[in-house]
Amino acid sequence: MGAPATAYLQRRNPCIKLLAVVLAALTLTFIYDPATPAAIFCVTLVAGRLLGGIGWRAQLKPLWIFFFAGVAILLANIFFNKENALSPALVSLGSVKVTGPALWAAGTLWFRLLAFALLSLVFVRTTEPLQFILSLVHQLHMNYRVAYGTMVGYRMLPLLQTDYRTIRAAQRVRGMREATGLLHLWYRTRRYALPLLAGAVRKAGRVALAMDARAFGAFPERTYRERMTVRRADWLFVGAVILIVSAVVVALWCAGVTRFTIG
């Protein structure tokens, strides 16, 4: 579930929220230590709960794949980090040794990935797609043909998921079993692909006909029932994000924790 409509983050302009996410992500790209992205991750988690109305479980559950990605990142740094040969081993497993630089690099990349994922998740959960499209048109002056084409494609995804569940239930009623294994996975994909493709083509034709009937794309500009604006509270939100991220970075830098990839 997304954020409630009355949540603070839900009321912010989508492009302004996107700007805040980009600024926080850019800051993390120039930092090379695990503590700073971990702190930003925790701040984002709290903000999503208190300001976005998103539960803890709703934020953490979609990130499970990124938690497992940390294992792959750790193994890659253990085997391929160039500083391993010059550093003493913290733990030795036969010919494999785990060094401080390997753990430091793995922790940095892992927490940075988690922070990026959570920032994106909170943005998506607190932003209505239609408002985001309108904001792109009104604030960033994106061509409305491109913007609405993107929105139509985005709205098609839930419909395809519904069609998939319907086709799957219909095939089960007809006695088609879903066995495991790569070969059966290939056959099952073939069974679903054709009806899904046919349904998508029919929906695309209906959407194209409806848009053509409304003279979509016939004029350089369009009128809008709702117009997105940038309010003072939106700029205050961006300023607060910059202030909080800067405070976290400066505090950890003064504590000797934060390291930068440049300089």
Question: In this structure, are 111 and 31 located in the same domain?
Answer: yes
The number of folded domains in the chain is 2
Q: What is the pLDDT of residue 241?
A: 96
Q: Which domain holds residue 248?
A: 9-132+230-254
Residue 123 contacts residue 21 (beta carbons within 8 Å): yes
Question: In this structure, are 243 and 113 located in the same domain?
Answer: yes
User: What are the backbone angles phi and psi of residue 226, rounded to the nearest 5°?
Assistant: -130, 135
Q: What is the pTM of this model?
A: 0.77
Q: Looking at the chain, how many residues does it have?
A: 263
Residues 6+ apart with CB under 8 A from 257: 33, 35, 36
Q: What is the pLDDT of residue 252?
A: 93
| Domain membership flag for residue 147 | no
Distance CA(25)–CA(155), nearest Å, equals 27
User: What are the backbone angles phi and psi of residue 31, rounded to the nearest 5°?
Assistant: -115, 135
- pLDDT tens, the chain, 263 aa long: 455 567 899 999 999 999 999 999 999 999 988 899 999 999 999 999 999 999 999 999 988 888 888 778 777 776 666 665 556 666 666 666 667 777 778 888 889 999 999 999 999 999 988 888 889 888 888 888 888 877 777 777 778 888 888 888 887 887 777 666 666 677 777 788 888 888 888 888 888 888 888 777 777 777 777 888 899 999 999 999 999 999 999 999 999 888 887 54
Residues forming beta bridges with residue 92, ordered by sequence position: 97
Q: What is the pLDDT of residue 5?
A: 60
- Token duo for residue 227: 């117009």
Question: In this structure, are 194 and 249 located in the same domain?
Answer: no
Distance CA(210)–CA(230), nearest Å, equals 31
| Domain membership flag for residue 1 | no
Q: What is the pLDDT of residue 263?
A: 44
CA distances from 261 to 68, 101, 105, 232, 257 (A): 25, 14, 12, 35, 13
| Domain membership flag for residue 72 | yes
Q: What is the pLDDT of residue 3?
A: 56
Q: What is the pLDDT of residue 191?
A: 80
Residues forming beta bridges with residue 93, ordered by sequence position: 96
Question: In this structure, are 80 and 194 located in the same domain?
Answer: no
CA distances from 180 to 105, 141, 177, 185 (A): 38, 49, 10, 7
Question: In this structure, are 15 and 79 located in the same domain?
Answer: yes
